[in-house]
Structure 1
Amino acid sequence: MIEIATKEGWREHVDTAYERPAPVTSEELRAMSFGDRALYNQGRAQYSQAGAFVRTPQFEAFQRAVRDRVMLNAYRRVGKLGLILSGEPGQGKTTSLVEIGRAHERRRRDTGHPAAGPGMLPVVYVAVPAQCSAKALMHEFARFLGLPVLGRMTYGDLLEAVSNALRRCSTELVLVDDVHHLDLKYRQNVEASDMLKQLSERCGGTFVYAGIAVEGTGLLDGSRGGQIGKRFEVHVALPFPLISTAEKARWGDLLLAMESSLCLAEQRPGSILSAAPTLHALTGGEIGLLKDLLQFAALSAMDDGTEKLDAAAFERDLARRQTAATLHTSKPRRSRTPASAA
């Protein structure tokens, strides 16, 4: 497993590309040896899980916003602009954040940009630990950058070392994940929030935050939050609705892209659309749940040799859930006999 919260792990993640396996027929699959078929199935699972990325309209809007701010911040000395990606669990926030950074770094490499030259780090990724102090968060930056942290180093020493390293490495994009852990009800988290602002002003990078329901953490409230709110644009990752014709079309496009990524030999392209309402009911339109559901279904299809998604199985799963929900809501509550009446 690649650990992307270090520069070595991040570089490996950016370097790694999982190619789509060559298509084969069911007959060719059956003719394979057990070992060859297992390797081929592993390649398909790896590609659908880590190699294929579905670009949704929400993601493309967010990526454009990041590109614009990277461009503008290169010429701003103070008041750097940033972005916040907020939403409930299962909306693909971390996946989107990491893909934004990966695509940016690969683009810099492809164009020979100085920020991607030898010894440079165009992108830095840090995840905020729970109940994080300013110094602990600074340690996470130092860990990514590979900076030595001595016991006698003060917060000021760490801030100076990290900001200098980010400038020397020409870092353009600083990705801060799990920012909901900076709940400003706790003083140490307030200090960590202030640290991010100081770091943003001392280096040239564009800061992009991602977290669960960031609007409710206090990060955008009060005098501190007022500054962040003016400079950071909030994008909210939402489930896919299924009401209007346009919304149904977007849901269908998502299903088609995911269907293709599964690489099933007998899956007729577009046949997944017949299960569109059922899949939406099962997942609530959440992209993370949909991806998991389809990948487990694809693994089952590989194992049993059918090599196609079982729409009837989705219907049965939905019926079971609806029955369970009905039984739960209709189950009578036990009445308690008062002790005095016993």
Structure 2
Amino acid sequence: MIVQSLTLQHDRKTTVPGLREALTALPPVPPPISFSEYAALSAGDRDVYDEARQDFVRLTLRVPTPEQDVSARILAKLIASNQRRKNSRRGIMISAPMFYGKTELALLLARSVEREHARRYPDYTERGEVPVVWIEVTDHATGKALLAQIIRFLAPTAAEPTRINTHDLRRQAVELLHSHHTKLLVIDEAHNLGGSEPSSVIKALQNESSATVALVGIDLAGGKAFGSGEGLQVTMRCDLVELRKVDIRTDSGLDLWKRWVATFDRNLPLCEHRPGTLTRNHLALHAAASGRLAILAMIVERLISSILGEPARVDEEVTRERLFAVLDGLRQTTPVRHRIKLDDLVDAA
């Protein structure tokens, strides 16, 4: 059995190498083996295998969502049309509270744009093309700071002038986006933008650059950044995708949640895993996750980590005791204060 360890060289998505690493770091599912075969491995090989399994769960194991399909269709149309517009180009907003998977959705969209560009232009990296730019804004970020991040992303070695006005910064940023054939500009944590200046800068970018702007953040349409004043002009130029809790009181919501849980259950990279316990406890998991996919994914990730962290384990079966230990820990360490008890859970049939 050959398992390659995942090696990451960059900590941030806000550089070209870091973003491309984030878009391509998708480890395959490790080859399945029996627990006896696992126990026969050397300690070093077990560590590598365990690490590969956790990397698969953290980085690769995902479930399809309705918002992914909607966002992908919107973005493809915007990118196609914005390159032919001369003014008032449209963008996309991805808005939700915390723990709803906003950044994960934005990464998925960025990955699709990068892959499509690579398919059409296989030598795009040699030509210096950067189809996706990713920036993250901090609290009370100004328009000048936003433009400076774009410039640093695309020209990290360029000397930063000590004194430059917003107009010249914008011109430089627009020229770089054009010369690098950028199609998507992701502004993550966009709710941190405040005041009219950042909104006017984003509006100017939409006017002057053919790159489609994707704003990602908390309560964007109703918050301080884009809910009123000049920010509202940006909102009106964007298609809004809001991520919501799954309401299992509806048939469609219940079916969607059950599919998500079953998908995770089928794909757990555990030795001799038999799906069942997660699926049978889908209602308890909904309560524990408060209907949020990002927390469900966190539960699955912690479940794998906790099982692989048992040094004296004799199997890797998902039991209600192991699942409850994770749910109880979640209650202690996150804002989700669920009331799931051990007796609420059942084992696989």
What's the TM-score, normalizing by structure 2? 0.84
Counterpart in 2 of 1:178? 189
**8 Å CA contact 1:120, 1:170 repeated in 2:** yes
Distance in 2 separating the partners of 1:180 and 1:172: 22
Is the partner of 2:214 in helix, strand or coil? strand
Distance in 2 separating the partners of 1:179 and 1:260: 36
Counterpart in 1 of 2:286? 280
Counterpart in 1 of 2:151? 142
**8 Å CA contact 1:126, 1:141 repeated in 2:** yes
Q: 1:117 to 1:237 in 2, by over 3 A?
A: farther
Counterpart in 2 of 1:53? 62
Distance in 2 separating the partners of 1:94 and 1:285: 18
Distance in 1 separating the partners of 2:64 and 2:235: 27
- Alignment of 1:196 with 2:202, yes or no, is yes
Distance in 1 separating the partners of 2:79 and 2:253: 31
Is the partner of 2:281 in helix, strand or coil? helix
Distance in 2 separating the partners of 1:120 and 1:316: 48
- Alignment of 1:294 with 2:291, yes or no, is no
**8 Å CA contact 1:105, 1:116 repeated in 2:** no
Distance in 2 separating the partners of 1:204 and 1:318: 46
Distance in 2 separating the partners of 1:238 and 1:116: 37
**8 Å CA contact 1:278, 1:314 repeated in 2:** no
Q: 1:267 to 1:241 in 2, by over 3 A?
A: farther
Structure 2 spans left out of the alignment, 5+ residues: 1-9, 332-336, 340-349
- Alignment of 1:89 with 2:98, yes or no, is yes
**8 Å CA contact 1:83, 1:207 repeated in 2:** yes
Residue 103 of structure 1 aligns to which amino acid in structure 2? Answer: S
Residue 272 of structure 2 aligns to which amino acid in structure 1? Answer: E
| C-alpha displacement of 1:270 | 4.5
Distance in 2 separating the partners of 1:319 and 1:53: 23
Counterpart in 2 of 1:334? none
Structure 1 spans left out of the alignment, 5+ residues: 184-188, 327-342
Counterpart in 2 of 1:151? 162
Distance in 2 separating the partners of 1:116 and 1:236: 33
| C-alpha displacement of 1:92 | 0.3
Residue 167 of structure 1 aligns to which amino acid in structure 2? Answer: H
| C-alpha displacement of 1:140 | 1.3
| Higher relative helix content | 1
Aligned-pair identity (%): 24
Q: How many residues align?
A: 320
| C-alpha displacement of 1:200 | 1.9
Q: 1:325 to 1:90 in 2, by over 3 A?
A: closer
| C-alpha displacement of 1:226 | 4.2
Is the partner of 1:264 in helix, strand or coil? coil
1:119-138 matches, cutoff 5 A: 119-138=128-147
> Which of these residues, 221, 232, 237, is aligned with residue 231 of structure 1?
237
**8 Å CA contact 2:92, 2:241 repeated in 1:** yes
Counterpart in 1 of 2:343? none
**8 Å CA contact 2:226, 2:235 repeated in 1:** yes
**8 Å CA contact 2:90, 2:206 repeated in 1:** no
What's the TM-score, normalizing by structure 1? 0.86
Counterpart in 2 of 1:105? 114
Q: 1:53 to 1:319 in 2, by over 3 A?
A: closer
**8 Å CA contact 1:279, 1:314 repeated in 2:** no
Instruction: Tell me how large the CA RMSD over aligned residues is.
Output: 2.4
Counterpart in 2 of 1:340? none
**Stretch deviating more after TM superposition (151-160 or 97-106):** 151-160
- Alignment of 1:249 with 2:258, yes or no, is no
Q: 1:65 to 1:32 in 2, by over 3 A?
A: same
1:2-41 matches, cutoff 5 A: 2-41=11-50
Distance in 2 separating the partners of 1:54 and 1:272: 15
**Stretch deviating more after TM superposition (202-211 or 306-315):** 306-315
Distance in 2 separating the partners of 1:293 and 1:318: 7
**8 Å CA contact 2:303, 2:323 repeated in 1:** no
**8 Å CA contact 1:82, 1:233 repeated in 2:** yes
Distance in 1 separating the partners of 2:183 and 2:55: 30
Counterpart in 1 of 2:6? none
Distance in 2 separating the partners of 1:111 and 1:148: 33
**8 Å CA contact 1:128, 1:179 repeated in 2:** yes
**Stretch deviating more after TM superposition (97-106 or 10-19):** 10-19
**8 Å CA contact 2:16, 2:153 repeated in 1:** yes
Is the partner of 1:9 in helix, strand or coil? helix
| C-alpha displacement of 1:143 | 1.7
